[in-house]
């Protein structure tokens, strides 16, 4: 959809800040996501992950700082302007069109990317390219059996699948997934992750995740958000061993206990 700039960065956050009234939620976040990279955004509850997604996707404007997509500044733009520039996001709580079927939901998401605008002189059934792409996405998210079912009649996992489908249908290069596997069982999660990996092949993915198994299996790099700041952005191994991250998740006392225990075990073993 858009050309990757010469620095190879699909998405950049430069000292992004967001305050609600006097409370600063995002306190200077920096992130540089390479094109084609898969990044997991993790962090304790309340760290501001959904807020960050909202800022990137245009649901809110940052109080200060810059958000750059494919080399173009997108902070302050409306959601549809950002989407047209190649960024799509999913929602933590499935945000579908409740009176339309699975296929219709996906087709709506395809329309703009295929050049259809506000046309009222063409029939949907004649838009071969649009329909073909929608069927393709339907197969990608493995929902062919439920093609004409109303989305409110689907199971939770099926709805999450359609949610992902609506997000990727437009062919955006930068995909933001907000807790895609939240609330799923182990087996559902495993299948879902495989599906996500397939549909985001070659695209830049930024996903909020709490399930560490998913994170370590899916992500090239992990960004850790704590109190509105990205305190670490590195490969999974390095993040796992990062002290600041451990402190953020486990608390300094517990982290110290861990260290003390490790030392004691060492001493006992020696």
Residue 197, interface with another protein (CB under 8 A)? Answer: no
Mark the segment that binds another protein (CB under 8 A) among 7-15, 24-32, 83-91, 219-227.
83-91
Residue 22, interface with another protein (CB under 8 A)? Answer: no
Quick one: angle between helices 128-140 and 102-111, nearest 10? Answer: 120
| Type and span of the H or E element at 234 | strand 229-234
Cβ-Cβ contacts under 8 Å for 256 (sequence gap 6 or more): none
- Nearer to another protein by C-beta: 25 or 232? 25
Site for another protein (CB under 8 A): which residue of 99, 187, 253, 266?
99
Cα 183 from chain centroid? 16
Mark the segment that binds another protein (CB under 8 A) among 21-29, 122-130, 178-186, 227-235.
122-130
Mark the segment that binds another protein (CB under 8 A) among 28-36, 75-83, 194-202, 221-229.
75-83
How far apart (Å, rounded) are the C-alpha atoms in residues 6 and 207? Answer: 24
How far apart (Å, rounded) are the C-alpha atoms in residues 170 and 197? Answer: 17
What minimum distance in Å lies between the beta carbon of 216 and another protein?
29
Residue 100, interface with another protein (CB under 8 A)? Answer: yes
| Type and span of the H or E element at 23 | strand 23-34
Q: Which of residues 146-185 bind another protein (CB under 8 A)?
A: 166, 169-170
Residue 1, interface with another protein (CB under 8 A)? Answer: no
Q: What is the DSSP letter of 36?
A: T
Residue 186, classified by CB atoms within 10 Å of its CB into exposed (0-12), middle (13-18) or buried (19+), is: exposed
| 3 state DSSP class of 144 | helix
Site map (CB under 8 A) of another protein, residues 102-121, x = contact: --x--xxx-xxx--xxxxxx
Under the rule (CB under 8 A), what is the footprint of another protein? 57-58, 78-80, 83-84, 88-89, 91, 95-100, 104, 107-109, 111-113, 116-125, 127, 132, 166, 169-170
């Amino acid at each position: 959809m858009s050309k990757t700039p010469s620095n190879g960065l699909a998405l950049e956050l430069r000292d992004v800040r967001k305050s609600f009234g006097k409370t600063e939620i995002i306190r200077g976040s920096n992130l540089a996501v390479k094109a084609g990279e898969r990044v997991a955004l993790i962090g304790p509850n309340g760290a501001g992950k959904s807020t960050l997604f909202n800022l990137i996707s245009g649901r809110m404007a940052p109080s200060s700082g810059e958000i750059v997509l494919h080399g173009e500044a997108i902070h302050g733009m409306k959601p549809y302007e950002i989407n047209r520039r190649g960024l799509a996001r999913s929602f933590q709580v499935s945000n579908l069109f409740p009176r339309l079927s699975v296929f219709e939901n996906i087709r709506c998401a395809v329309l703009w990317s295929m050049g259809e605008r506000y046309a009222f002189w063409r029939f949907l059934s004649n838009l071969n390219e649009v329909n073909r792409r929608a069927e393709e996405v339907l197969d990608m998210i493995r929902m062919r059996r439920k093609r004409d079912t109303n989305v409110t009649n689907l199971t939770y996992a099926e709805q999450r699948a359609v949610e992902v489908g609506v997000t990727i249908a437009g062919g955006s290069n930068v995909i933001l997934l907000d807790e895609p596997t939240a609330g799923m069982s182990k087996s559902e999660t495993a299948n879902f992750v495989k599906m996500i990996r397939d549909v985001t092949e070659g695209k830049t993915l930024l996903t909020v995740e709490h399930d560490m198994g998913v994170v370590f299996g899916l992500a090239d790099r992990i960004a850790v958000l704590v109190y509105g700041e990205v305190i670490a952005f590195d490969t999974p191994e390095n993040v796992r061993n990062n002290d600041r991250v451990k402190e953020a998740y486990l608390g300094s006392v517990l982290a110290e206990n861990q260290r003390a225990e490790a030392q004691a075990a060492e001493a006992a073993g020696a």
